[in-house]
Amino acid sequence: MKAHEQGFDVVVQSEDSWGKVPNDSAKDDDNPKGIFSLSKAACDFMEDNRGRPFFVYLSHYAIHAALQSRNSSLEKFKSKEINEPHPSPLYLANTYDMDEGVGVVMNKLKELGLEENTLVVFTSDNGGTQAAVQDPLRGNKGSYYEGGIREPFIIRWPSVTKPGSHCDVPVISQDLFPTFVAAADVTVPSGKLLDGEGLLPLLRGEKTLKREAIFWHFPGYLSEPVLRGRARDVRGGFRSCPVSVIRKGDWKFHLFLEEWLLDGGYEKLSTNNAVELYNLKEDLGEYHDLSDANTDKRDELLGDLLAWHKSVAAPIPTEPNPKYAPGAKADTKGNKGKRKAATL
């Protein structure tokens, strides 16, 4: 579905926004990845609508590959001593330019006199790539270890949220919509169930939300292994195979659906590699699986996760893959048919 078909009144895209033009080209030297044209479009919209409530969704293409930057920014980082494993000068320059684009928008809010009562959220849609240093986190973009799902999340709302404050309560991107609904004082229609939970209590300084857990569900496959990924997936060339995850307090539990459905389920948990359990407070890198050592917590989270599956009618692979060929090498360029997987 295209952006203009999802309820937006105005949609602006940037020419060559994916950065297919090599960085050594003179084209768009002042507008790499469309950063500044997109930021200007957001500013123009805010100015046109300054007299009424508005919503701006500014989704930069930076710093997604292929990387681009202004030549002046690239020279700035070329001149610095950068030791491995830090990102390349171009990666840093592209990030620097995106940061400046964000500053353009923030300065516009101040110019319009709107900064005190405007809720601004800065976040990302996934963890870093293999080019980003994330130690001690395991995995990266596309994985459900913390390296794949832990993201920057910054909120600025001066009239409500104390500047410089910090919150450790886990949240998820599905919380944004109910947060915006609550901030706008909009009444949710009766019987309408929203994914996520509004974050206004946290923004006002409270320390808890009503829910006990958050969930992720990915019943598919992604190619290309991740850093310190799961051994069975890495051997097949995958970032992630079908998996569901629950985070409850300091505990995080992974349920790998291939092994769960095909290799004996609960009765074989000690041998089928279907579950992993971590205490993130003590083991943020998810290196020490406690599923055998703490079976009570394992079973509690497994029960919570299976109940959540049922409550949201989560799509679960249920039938053997008809293209499965024992011993065949997986094609990681799109044909996942030779994996052991069950299919949707």
Helix (H) / strand (E) containing 296:
helix 295-312
**Cα-based distances in Å from 220 to 97, 269, 323:** 35, 21, 15
Q: Is the pLDDT of residue 109 over 70?
A: yes
Band (pLDDT 50/70/90 cuts) for residue 131 is confident
DSSP one-letter code for 34: G
- Average confidence score pLDDT of the chain: 87
Helix (H) / strand (E) containing 120:
strand 120-123
pLDDT of residue 232: 83
The residue-averaged pLDDT of 116-139 equals: 90
As a whole number of angstroms, the distance between CA 136 and CA 287 comes to 10
Closest to 150 in 3D by CA, of 178, 130, 121, 124? 124
Band (pLDDT 50/70/90 cuts) for residue 337 is very low
Band (pLDDT 50/70/90 cuts) for residue 87 is confident
Span 287-317, pLDDT tens digits: 999 999 999 999 999 999 999 999 999 999 8
As a whole number of angstroms, the distance between CA 239 and CA 148 comes to 10
**Cα-based distances in Å from 44 to 11, 58, 99, 120, 181:** 12, 12, 19, 17, 24
Band (pLDDT 50/70/90 cuts) for residue 283 is very high
Closest to 200 in 3D by CA, of 156, 161, 172? 161
pLDDT of residue 240: 92
Lowest mean per-residue pLDDT among 138-147, 303-312, 320-329: 320-329
Closest to 241 in 3D by CA, of 260, 222, 255, 224? 222
Q: CB of 203 within 8 A of CB of 159?
A: no
Percent of the chain at pLDDT exceeding 90: 65
Q: Is the pLDDT of residue 17 over 90?
A: no
Any idea how long the chain is? 344
Chain center to CA of 249: 19
Q: Is the pLDDT of residue 344 over 50?
A: no
Closest to 29 in 3D by CA, of 71, 75, 91? 71
pLDDT of residue 8: 87
As a whole number of angstroms, the distance between CA 246 and CA 240 comes to 16
The residue-averaged pLDDT of 115-124 equals: 96
pLDDT of residue 342: 40
Q: CB of 43 within 8 A of CB of 105?
A: yes
Band (pLDDT 50/70/90 cuts) for residue 26 is very low
Region of residue 46 (left: phi > 0; alpha: psi -120 to 50; beta: else):
alpha
Span 59-72, pLDDT tens digits: 998 988 888 999 99
Q: Is the pLDDT of residue 341 over 50?
A: no
Bigger pLDDT: 180 vs 130 = 180
**Cα-based distances in Å from 297 to 74, 244, 247, 308:** 50, 16, 12, 16
As a whole number of angstroms, the distance between CA 95 and CA 193 comes to 37
Closest to 290 in 3D by CA, of 304, 317, 269? 269
